[in-house]
Amino acid sequence: MFMTRAAGALHKPMTIRVHVASYDAICRMVAAGAGIAIMPKAAFARLKGDQLIGSCNLRDDWAVRTFQLCARDLDGLSSFAREFANLLIGRYAADGKRG
């Protein structure tokens, strides 16, 4: 969905030839020579294992995602969840990435 919206914003068609259910399946298909894929860096690092596949970072504006931290009531969260939320808010506010 994200990629489809990004392609649409650039007025480029999105042609998906194969759809698989997991990042693991994506890695196996790429390792088998079935094409290329775009996936989160963390998923690739976790799943590529011994497969001989490479990667590169995408740095174009369309490849940057914006995430939102959502909660019904931050003050009503458990102390652990509130601490984690505050850690995230502080981290991204310090980097100027808060949105």
Is the domain of 40 the same as that of 81? no
Where is pLDDT greater, at 95 or 82? 82
pLDDT at 12 over 60: yes
Give me the number of domains the chain comprises: 2
Q: How far apart are the first and last CA of the chain?
A: 21
pTM: 0.54
49 shares its domain with 75: no
Residue-wise pLDDT for 19-32, tens only, equals: 788 988 888 888 88
Of 89, 85, 88, the residue nearest 76 (C-alpha) = 85
Tokens found for residue 79: 């102390």
pLDDT score of 1:
66
Find the domain containing 24 and state its range. 1-59
